[in-house]
Amino acid sequence: EINPFLPQPSTLKWASPLTDSASSPIYLQADWFSTALQGLNGQLAVSTITRAPTATKEHRVVLSVTTTTVSVQSRLGGPVLLDCGLWADPSSPLSGSGFAVEWRYQFRGDGRLVLAYDGKTDRLADVQEEGATLDYEGLHQRGNASLILREAKVRHSGLYICTVYLPYLVAQVTMELQVVEPPSLSIHPSPLPLAVPGQSFTVQCEASGFAPPRPGAELGVQRHRWEVQASGVGQPNGTPAGLGREPTARAPGWSSTPPSWTWAEGGRSPVWPSISGDTAGQRDPQRHWVQLPVHRGLHGDGRCSAGALRSHQVCLLDRHQLRLR
């Protein structure tokens, strides 16, 4: 984007000393344009002020302001560097009269001054946000006007504007900072109780410590269920009684690969069959076990009794996964 530019003095306290002369230099009598460039990668932005002698087409860059961090994400509490660099044509009479740098913040119509520096008098503005600073030595030597935030907070998320002033000239670039932090999830009661078929209980999930704040966030619960069916009970010798076929297991939403069954002989102890399954052709990182002791009823440690499996009754083993979306 290219637009005509009109050089004029600034009235800001940190930039007005650049144009304390009562008369404008004859150097300003030329054709001036401002140019805004955006990189194809979306991370580079350049703003320039160019000058062409009157009635000529030979434009020359006098001031250039650049950023390579158009969009930045930072973890909560970490340091942040918002890149801004300036370059002034050393052959221009305006470049030897000093410069000024200003950083402003905007978010949803609200704005504030973060930091302002007068490079001519080496002075900072009275208003400066806590934890915000510049590399002043790098600014004078290399044109490094990058803003440094020592500790990212939620209130730092928003739009930042880096503005550079030369006498009668001004150029700026903008960048957006988003402070992010994944949620911490907790579930109550923990561990979850084991419910018999038809029984219901309340599970409370809490999400905390995440940024940015999302009042409309949805909490989704993904539930995987193993349904184990058997037609008999284990015998002391390790042989399943009354099982004309292998017990079946199915997990809705999982692959159709049948689970593997292992039978162990425990002397006078009952048979302890166990199952494990594959999901989408890959071994599930958490193996699910169903153990069948001879005790009747449902055990608090998550075991299903052999009595509960008699006559094709169903024993459920649930796994709950929590995610914030």
- Sequence-separated (6 or more) residues with CB below 8 Å from residue 214: none
Torsion angle of the four alpha carbons 59, 61, 66, 68, in this order, in degrees rounded to the nearest 10: 60
- Terminal C-alpha separation, the chain: 38
CB atoms within 10 A of CB 99: 24
pLDDT at 98 over 60: yes
Amino acid identity at 157: S
In whole numbers, what is the pLDDT of the chain averaged over residues?
A: 71
Beta bridge partner(s), residue 224: 319
Could you give the CA distance from residue 176 to residue 130 in angstroms, rounded to a whole number?
19
| pLDDT of the residue at 126 | 86
Task: Tell me the percentage of the chain whose pLDDT exceeds 70.
Answer: 64
| pLDDT of the residue at 193 | 77
| pLDDT of the residue at 217 | 57
Query: For 279-318, how does the pLDDT look when each residue is reduced to its tens digit (9 = 90+)?
Result: 333 333 333 333 333 233 333 333 333 333 333 333 333 3
Task: Parse the chain into domains and list their residue ranges.
Answer: 2-180, 220-324
Query: For 108-143, how does the pLDDT look when each residue is reduced to its tens digit (9 = 90+)?
Result: 878 899 999 999 999 998 888 899 999 999 999 999
Query: For 176-212, how does the pLDDT look when each residue is reduced to its tens digit (9 = 90+)?
Result: 999 887 777 777 787 777 777 877 777 777 777 666 6
Determine whether 312 is exposed, middle or buried from the number of CB atoms within 10 Å of its CB (0-12, 13-18, 19+).
exposed
pLDDT at 169 over 60: yes
| pLDDT of the residue at 120 | 92
Element containing residue 138 per DSSP (H, E): helix 136-142
pTM of the predicted model as reported, rounded to 2 decimal places = 0.62
| pLDDT of the residue at 24 | 80
| pLDDT of the residue at 212 | 65
pLDDT interval class at 59 (50, 70, 90): very high
Nearest to 148 by CA among 164, 165, 136: 136
Amino acid identity at 167: P
Task: Tell me the percentage of the chain whose pLDDT exceeds 90.
Answer: 40
pLDDT at 322 over 90: no
The CATH fold of domain 2-180? Immunoglobulin-like (2.60.40)
